[in-house]
């Protein structure tokens, strides 16, 4: 079974598939090792970790594709890409869909914000017309049918923050009719809104949660409760990134003032763990096999 087919099967179960957000290859490897069965590339995380900038459309598609391809190659679980707004109009979005399928992505998010887009939990969002986004979804769906019918198109709407939950439901149904496999309703503001969008949108529904991060628009609801509601997918887009930042802050505070973190093995991974994570032993074996006069 292909990774896209496996992802499609998990989403169609509508059993709250949890997809942590990867902001680089190391975080993707750790997500896989923790036992998660799929992951989401976090555009927020990529912008922050590679550029040190907010999620406000500073990454080009070429950069996004390169970073995403590296993540896909590094793990064996399905990877959903972040296509932002499709990096242009419907024709541009078709090209983006082609390249992501070629890269091995199992699916992608594409959203109805105006360019330049921004993180769904930030203020100042604007959305395109329902017609424009539906046509963009249809264009991407045509590419999907030609190249990989199992590839997941996750159409995101930011309408709740701009026009209310009724508009989000209307858009979700329009995008599903246009060919989206999954509808990502961004930033519902209550459990009641989550239940309503799940019940009233004629397609599997995805939401994201900020988890331990303070400041998200969506209240935290237990995974089991979301599963009972029928939510198909839950992304935790920035938790791994914020955890990494907190970990580095804690370590750097410990060594500030010319100190050493002697004995503080709780602050860092061991050298052996890290070598295992990056596959060091496999490359040592290749050196022994293929390099002349190999020195131990």
pLDDT digits (tens, 9 = 90+) for 254-265: 999 999 999 999
How far, in whole angstroms, is CA 223 from its chain's centroid?
A: 18
Give the residues across from 21 on adjacent strands.
Answer: 40
Residue 124 pLDDT level (bands cut at 50, 70, 90): low
Q: Which CATH superfamily is domain 3-245 in?
A: Phosphoenolpyruvate-binding domains (3.20.20.60)
Residues 74, 28 contacting (CB under 8 angstroms)? yes
**Nearest of 66, 38, 22, 29 to residue 275 by alpha carbon:** 29
pLDDT tens-digit profile of 271-290? 999 999 999 999 999 999 99
Cis-peptide into 116, omega within 30 deg: yes
Length of the chain counted residue by residue = 296
pLDDT tens-digit profile of 14-63? 999 999 999 999 999 999 999 999 999 999 999 999 999 998 889 999 99
CA distance 228 to 246: 33
Classify 147 as helix, strand or coil.
helix
């Amino acid at each position: 079974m292909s990774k896209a087919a496996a992802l499609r099967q998990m989403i169609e179960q509508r059993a709250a598939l949890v997809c942590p957000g990867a902001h680089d290859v190391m975080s993707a490897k750790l997500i896989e090792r923790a036992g998660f069965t799929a992951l989401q590339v976090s555009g927020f995380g990529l912008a922050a970790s590679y550029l040190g900038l907010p999620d406000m459309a500073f990454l080009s598609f070429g950069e996004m594709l390169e970073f995403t391809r590296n993540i896909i190659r590094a793990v064996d679980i399905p990877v959903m890409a972040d296509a932002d707004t499709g990096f242009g109009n419907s024709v541009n979005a078709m090209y983006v869909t082609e390249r992501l399928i070629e890269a091995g992505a199992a699916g992608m998010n594409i959203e109805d914000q105006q360019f330049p887009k921004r993180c769904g939990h930030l203020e100042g969002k604007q959305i395109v017309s329902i017609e424009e986004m539906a046509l963009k979804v249809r264009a991407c769906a045509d590419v999907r049918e030609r190249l990989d019918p199992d590839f997941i198109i996750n159409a995101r709407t930011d309408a709740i923050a701009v026009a209310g939950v009724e508009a989000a439901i209307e858009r979700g149904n329009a995008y599903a009719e246009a060919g989206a496999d999954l509808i990502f309703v961004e930033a519902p503001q209550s459990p009641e809104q989550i239940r309503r969008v799940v019940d009233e949108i004629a397609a599997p529904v995805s939401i994201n949660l900020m988890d331990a991060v303070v400041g998200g628009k969506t209240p935290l609801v237990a995974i089991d409760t979301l599963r009972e509601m029928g939510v198909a997918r839950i992304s935790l887009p920035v938790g791994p990134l914020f955890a990494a930042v907190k970990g580095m802050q804690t370590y750097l505070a410990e060594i500030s003032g010319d100190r050493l973190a002697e004995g503080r093995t709780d602050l860092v991974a061991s050298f052996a763990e890290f070598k295992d994570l990056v596959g060091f032993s496999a490359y040592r074996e290749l050196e022994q096999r293929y390099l002349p006069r190999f020195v131990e």
